[in-house]
Structure 1
Amino acid sequence: MKYFVVTFILLSVASCKNEASINGDDLFDNEKYADAIQAYTSYLETHPDNVKSLYNRGRSYEEIGQVQKAVSDFEKIVELDPKNISAYLSLAKISYNKHEYNKVLIHTGNAIDLNENSAQAHFFAGRAEHQLGYLDQAVESYNNAIRINRDFGEAYLYRGAVKVGKDQMKSACEDFKFAKSLNIPEAAKAIKDYCK
């Protein structure tokens, strides 16, 4: 009987702890990011190494504009799980938005080392290379993203933009038209501006 009571108590405690995480997931899925942060923070007090909760809290911080807190969560994930591609890609995205393009290349390089078939990693690398003026490398990165995911509309759009910079207008317009066929809104303006 004693064993049953102890087991019941342990299961109840574990269940309560899991509820905080599940509640956080529900709040995150419903875009209630501030509430999700509170639920994840509560859960992480007793489960500080739970990568999923750290990642979703980081994404929640990102959504409400607390970028440095998001970075801290993503960096902790990389410490706990150096093979976590999602954390590297989130760090790359934040670095891109902060115009830290060399950092983007470090994070995307780590992601590509782990999975060379990550279209998103090649895409972010292309964006950073484009901003740094490495046009040939940017085209190659966009080519890789498209090779992996033929329907990656943004990769076509931005590859087209690089081709405009390289004065390859016919090829650029082909990319813009393909991006438009994939429902990328900016493609129509690019066609209007560059494709007579």
Structure 2
Amino acid sequence: MREKLIYILIFGVLLYSCDFTSADEYYNQAFEYEEKGDLKKAIELLDKSIEKQSDFRPALLNRGYYKTELGNLDGGIMDYKKILEFDSDNTLALYNIGTNYQELEKPKKAIEYFTKALNTSGALTSFANSNGGTLGLRTNLDFDKLDNDNDFEIHKCKIQFSRGVNYFFTKKYDLAIIDFENSIKANYNKAESHFFLGGIYLEKAELNKACENFTLSADLGDLDAKEKIKVHCNE
């Protein structure tokens, strides 16, 4: 009887210690906490999801994002780079790393990762549609429930705009011009792109082009551009 009781107790402990919750379930639970604004709890659940499945891209991506939102930019970069260990051409992970480096005021590193992102198949060719929006040309389709390749795609114009900002910060003005002009062609962040172009042409002492771009930016509602016009373009 005593041996039977010990067996039952051991079995009960083993059963209690077993975690039958799947990586997908932990991921979904984390998303629920994100919606409640409790990112720390969401991260705890994603830790468990990743323990179950170390190559679960959505869990790594979201954990990196939550860490970034909580101010842990380096921690976010580490999670995005974990994705690159087994998915080296993941466009969104590369883009997010670039964004974090931009926030860390490391524009050269940001440019490096934005450029890598642009050279992936998940960087969608972008163009303006007839309704004034931006479309991306998708070349592959993947309809897995959670870990879906399409979820890691980004419009090229978005990446180009971000890279252009960092080219601007590093005073690589001619390269920045190319990126901002591509962003404008795709109808992405046109007001900001024209504003940056205005700033670039001011630096290049090309006042007519500067004022032309500040005017285009102001017409699209950029208040800072209106101030630039008052200072530089009303003589």
TM-score with structure 1 setting the length:
0.81
Q: Residue 50 of structure 2 corresponds to which residue in structure 1? A: 44
Per-residue CA shift, 1:93-134, capped at 9, x if unaligned? 122222322212211111111127311221122122222221
Q: Residue 83 of structure 2 corresponds to which residue in structure 1? A: 77
Partner Cα separation in structure 1 for residue 221 and residue 35 of structure 2: 25
Residue identity in the other structure for 2:180: Y
Residue identity in the other structure for 1:142: F
> Structure 1 stretches of 5 or more lacking a match?
1-11
Larger Rg: 2
User: For the aligned residues, what is the CA RMSD?
Assistant: 2.4
Measured after TM superposition, the shift of residue 58 of structure 1 is 0.5
In 1, are the aligned partners of 2:73 and 2:104 still within 8 Å (CA)?
A: no
The farther-off stretch of 174-183 and 157-166 is 174-183
Q: Residue 193 of structure 1 corresponds to which residue in structure 2? A: 231
Are residues 46 and 129 of structure 1, via their aligned partners in 2, closer, same or farther at CA, if it must alter by over 3 Å?
same
Q: Residue 166 of structure 1 corresponds to which residue in structure 2? A: 204
Per-residue CA shift, 1:1-35, capped at 9, x if unaligned? xxxxxxxxxxx945x54232112123334543222
Measured after TM superposition, the shift of residue 171 of structure 1 is 2.7
The farther-off stretch of 54-63 and 96-105 is 96-105
Partner Cα separation in structure 2 for residue 173 and residue 27 of structure 1: 48
Per-residue CA shift, 1:140-186, capped at 9, x if unaligned? 11112222235543222212211221123333233333334444454
In 2, are the aligned partners of 1:23 and 1:36 still within 8 Å (CA)?
A: yes
Measured after TM superposition, the shift of residue 90 of structure 1 is 1.1
Are residues 32 and 180 of structure 1, via their aligned partners in 2, closer, same or farther at CA, if it must alter by over 3 Å?
farther
Residue identity in the other structure for 1:193: V
TM-score with structure 2 setting the length:
0.69
Measured after TM superposition, the shift of residue 57 of structure 1 is 0.8
Q: Residue 67 of structure 1 corresponds to which residue in structure 2? A: 73
Q: Percent identity?
A: 21
**Aligned length in residues:** 184
In 2, are the aligned partners of 1:151 and 1:182 still within 8 Å (CA)?
A: no
Partner Cα separation in structure 1 for residue 80 and residue 71 of structure 2: 15
Q: Which protein has the bigger helix share? A: 1
> Structure 2 stretches of 5 or more lacking a match?
1-18, 126-155
